[in-house]
Every structure is written in structure tokens, then in C-alpha cells.
Structure 1
């Protein structure tokens, strides 16, 4: 049963990055299209992996003997293409409003790529950043969100996760977190979350006695 997020106060908010806070789609498509071509793979072979760490994608589509080289190559391509990356609506506003020590990013990017995209976008990022480099099992495993909650010093069941990808939402739910989904990369009917909104400009945030309260800008438009 979906939780009423506007009636719940949270200890912390954990944001996914790509597709939630920033739009890196053009760069991602360029890098992976070139990678697929170099590896003799049809582009459709890479569908369905949104939200999965790049290493996990490579392991799923290449034979074992080619995995290490494949991971190194996609890392190289993505790190050298950070053009056209922009902050999505409401993202910087959220970081300006939310308490610095109650916010984290948990992304499927590795650390160098996450930092490169944050810098390229101009995103006002929080201090806590969890990447695929920090965990053994990335999304859809719950590990990134569990580690983010640990670094924030809060119980994951007291956290709200903001995601744009189905696999990220699976990870958040497995961690015991409440879920807010944004319709920036995935159709609304494919997002299984407590609440689904267009993007972060559809919500605002306020202090609730040291906890975080979510408000809908337009309840009728954003109602699921």
C-alpha cells in the first residue's frame, strides 16, 4: 500500500542522480551507442538497464573474458563525454532548501564519473555521495541506499528516496525507504512508487521540527 508522503516527516532524503537531479541522456546515449558499435552489439541489447551500474550492464551483455576491457572502455567513453549535461527542474532548489546534513546522492555512476557529471552540470551537490565504487552490489540491490543512510546517521526506514528508474525504486523499497518517483526518463505507469510526480519542481520541502516534510505544488496534477 502506498504511503502518503505528505503526511510523513523524514529523517533524510536520498536522491538518485542521472534522470532525477541531472539530465545526462545525450551523453549517455552517445557513449553507450559507440560502445555497443565497438563491441558488435545491437543498440536494443542495452535496453532495460536504466539505473544499473555500467559494470553490471557490461557483465550482462559480454562474455566473461571481455568484461574487464568492456568496463574500462565504457568508463573511458563516459568520462570524456560530459557535454550537454544540465540540472533538472527543482534539483538545485531542493538542495538549497534541505538541511545539508540530511541529504545524500546515491548513484549508479562510479565516483570519477559522478563527480565529473556533477561538475559539468553545475549541480549544488550535498556532502554525502554514494556511488557504484562504494558498494559491492549496485542497484537494484539496496546497498547504495543503505550505505547512504548509514553515512547520514539515520535509519533507512526513516528516509525518502527520489528516483526516476524502476530498478532504483526496487532498490529503495528493498532498503525499506519511502519512494518518490519523477517522470523524467520512464513512463508514469512503469514507476512503482509511493508518489509519482513530473519532476522535482512539482514538490517543495520544509523543516518539521528537525525532520523533512514534503509538499506538493499542485496536488491535483501530481496525484497518482
Structure 2
């Protein structure tokens, strides 16, 4: 067994030794210094020097100290493990959020594509459903557009036509030759939806709506671009 230095539990024994030393000191004429020396010796008493009856108490105290030290170490280890677990959980949460955001973006893209397809379907309405006339008033042309363009997009659509041609389906740009409600350049582009593109505003509306949906996604997005650049 190791020779463990004990301070606290040796005091009781040291007291007895000191008492005996005092008597001896008086009998022999020794000074108080002997008592101090004996007390100092008692303070450094080793486990082997402690009576057998008290050694169990000393050992218990030592084990208690060791247990306390181990508990402190265990607490530190547990804290470290908890911090590591928290970091791992935070990382997993961040990954989950990223995946969720990607899925949400994918779903939004699908919704936009669906809306675009629906808008394109609306714009392919048969223009023959509108009676062919020799001429059309602005109110008649706008009524056609309202039936062909979704309600939430009509104002943006109208804003572009206002700026491009003031709803004149026969408008011609003298310098470039751009033609019609949307000032298509060249105007013959509109033949892709109808041979009567020069005289039928319904055909022009169909072409213009297709153009805005395919190039910008919607009339309102086309109008946002127009506002920033003054062309579309």
C-alpha cells in the first residue's frame, strides 16, 4: 500500500502525542519548541503511522476524493459530448432546411411552369370566336384582350399596349416598320398565329400574349422589364 500523506485525520493522534510530549518536556526541562516540533511531525503523519483503527477512515476519505475527481471529469466529458451532439444536431437541421428549401424551390418552379402552360393555353383561344370586322374600336379590342388575358395579368398587358401603340392595331413605326398593337418587328412575326395579323386585333393579341409568356413568363413580368428598359 502506498504511503499516503494525511493531514486532517492525523490531527487527533497528533493531539495525543503533543499532550504526552508536553508532560515529558516539563519533566526534562524542555522548552515549548519541542511541542512545536512534535505538532509539525504530527501534521506529516503517514498512513502507515496511523493506528489501524483510523486507517479505514483515511482510506474512505481518499476514495471519496478520488470519486469527486472522477465525477468532475465525468461532468466535463458529458458537457463535451453534449456540445458535440448539439453541433451535430445543428448541422443536421441546417441540411434538413436546405433540402426543404430546395424542394420548395422545385415545387415553386413547377407551379410557375404550370401557370405558364395554362396562360399559353388561354392565349391559344381560337380567334375565330371573335367576329371579323372591317375595323375595330379601342373598346372592342380591349374587350377581346380581357377575354384572352387572365384577369390578374390584364393591367400589365394593357400598360404595354398603351405605351407601344395606344391600342392601334394598325400602328406602324415610320423608322423601323414595327407593326400593330405590340409593335412587332418585323410585323410578319405575327403570321405564326394567323395570316390575318395585319387586320385582326385578336390575332395580334394572341401573338403578343404568347410572346410575353414565352419570353418573360407573364405579361406582368414583361411589364416589369419594360419599366426598367423601356422596351421588351
Structure having the larger proportion of residues in strand: 1
TM bracket, shorter-chain basis: under 0.3
Query: Please, what TM-score do these two structures have when normalized by structure 2?
Result: 0.20
Which protein is richer in helix relative to its size? 2
RCO comparison, higher one (Cα < 8 Å, 6+): 1
> TM-score normalised to the size of structure 1?
0.21
The structure that has the greater radius of gyration is 2
